[in-house]
Structure 1
Amino acid sequence: MNRPISFMQSFKNYLHKHAVIISFGVGLIITVGLLTYLILNFIWINGSVHGKSMQPNFYNGDRVIVSPHSPVQRGDIVVVDPPGTTQNKFFLKRVIGLPNETISSKDDTTYINDHSIDEPYLDPYKARLAPNQLLTKNYNLKALFGIHKIPANKYFVMGDNRRQSADSRTFGPVAKNRIIGVVKVRYWPLNRFKIY
């Protein structure tokens, strides 16, 4: 006479028959979870945008992923711990000037080492200005800080919304160790997803 198999016995039989598949599935879930955690917290930093200083390219509430190990180049969007702050208040800015360069702005044109650079990301704001209005007030390093060049290992960063940005024109060039990382992806909102 056959005895009925208990639920526990049939569950053990199932686990025994499918042990490899179950082990693989559990291992895959743990691995994906661990890698996601490491990428978002150690290799890449997940953050959100606050304020208007990078409009119209970044808006309040945009979500970005930042690489803390990428080299910093002109035009990069970076997360900065600005000099003189102790509140863990990070800024999102664009790298304009590199170490040992001169930088100035005249009549809404930025000059690096006395050569004009193209800044197409400013075009939306410039298009809305009345004639003879400047988006970026004229400046040079000598007038701002009494120096001729951006110091070694420092970067001149600015917000794209030049009229509403506290940036290197205010707090000076930023040391490399105060640049938290380079923005690589804007993933939110989804309709403005972009890889940089």
Structure 2
Amino acid sequence: MQIWSNLKHFFQKNHFGFTLFLGVIVVVALFTYLLFNVVWINGTVHGRSMQPNFYAHDRVLVSPNAPIHRGDIVLLDPPGSSGNKLFVKRVIAGPHDQIRSNDDTTYINNHPISEPYLDPYKTKLPPNQLLTKNFTLKKLFGLKKVPAQSYFVMGDNRRQSADSRYFGPVKKSRIIGVVKVRYWPLNRITFY
């Protein structure tokens, strides 16, 4: 009983300080929630599809309102998914782009694009082996161009990536946002 009496007396004497302390905790909790769920979204890399640039269990912060450009790394809910496992992939082509790959060169609208992030894999391949199998959007899905409001995404580890070559172009509405920071592990912090 003495403890409750002492606590009651303490809060009566320090009512303003306690209210201020409680208010600060609520503001910090609200700010943290908004920061990591509205301004930034927290994501985790699963699997090997983005190696050597991202590894399983890397943690990223994603901007849900950033514009999407070719070469961006995005967090997405892949077509056919129940939303339980989000993918991290690289945007290769945007709406109305033609895409094809021939002899390990990716062409967008018949122009070869530079993909230096693939070099670590290409240097390890035996002669006459491709990292990216030849394909055209037409042969894969019967499409001439990536549909409006859609993106063609691929993993950097092309031989071990479930990506748009298998599930097709991804609607913009399925893209959670653009990866802006890898914050974990600490020794690999990177800003994009």
Instruction: Pick which of 111-120 and 39-48 moved more.
Output: 39-48
Corresponding position: 1:75 with 2:63: no
Question: RMSD of the TM alignment (CA)?
Answer: 2.2
Partner of 1:99: 95
Q: CA deviation at 1:31?
A: 2.2
Distance 2:135 2:187 in 1: 37
Q: CA deviation at 1:87?
A: 5.1
Match of 1:52 among 42, 45, 48: 48
Which amino acid in the other structure matches residue 84 of structure 1? Answer: G
Which amino acid in the other structure matches residue 132 of structure 2? Answer: T
Partner of 1:145: 141
Contact 2:77/2:83 (8 A) holds in 1: no
Q: CA deviation at 1:173?
A: 0.4
Q: SS state of the match for residue 56, structure 2?
A: coil
Residues 39 and 13 from structure 1, CA distance in 2 versus in 1: closer, same or farther, beyond 3 angstroms?
closer
Q: CA deviation at 1:15?
A: 4.0
Q: SS state of the match for residue 35, structure 2?
A: helix
5+ long unaligned stretches in structure 1: 1-6
Partner of 2:33: 37
Partner of 2:168: 172
Q: CA deviation at 1:128?
A: 0.8
Larger Rg: 1
Partner of 1:154: 150
Corresponding position: 1:132 with 2:153: no
- Size of the alignment, in residue pairs? 188
Partner of 2:3: none
- 5 Å-filtered alignment, 1:7-26, equals 15=14
Residues 159 and 11 from structure 1, CA distance in 2 versus in 1: closer, same or farther, beyond 3 angstroms?
same
Deviation sequence 1:100-146 (CA, Å, 0-9, x none)? 01001111111000001111111111111111111101111111111
Q: CA deviation at 1:33?
A: 2.4
Partner of 1:117: 113
Which amino acid in the other structure matches residue 153 of structure 2? Answer: V
- 5 Å-filtered alignment, 1:173-192, equals 173-192=169-188
Q: CA deviation at 1:89?
A: 2.2
Q: CA deviation at 1:34?
A: 1.5
Q: SS state of the match for residue 31, structure 1?
A: helix
Q: CA deviation at 1:37?
A: 1.2
Distance 1:154 1:145 in 2: 14
Name the TM-score, length of structure 1 as normaliser.
0.86
Q: SS state of the match for residue 33, structure 1?
A: helix
Q: SS state of the match for residue 178, structure 2?
A: strand
Q: CA deviation at 1:24?
A: 5.8
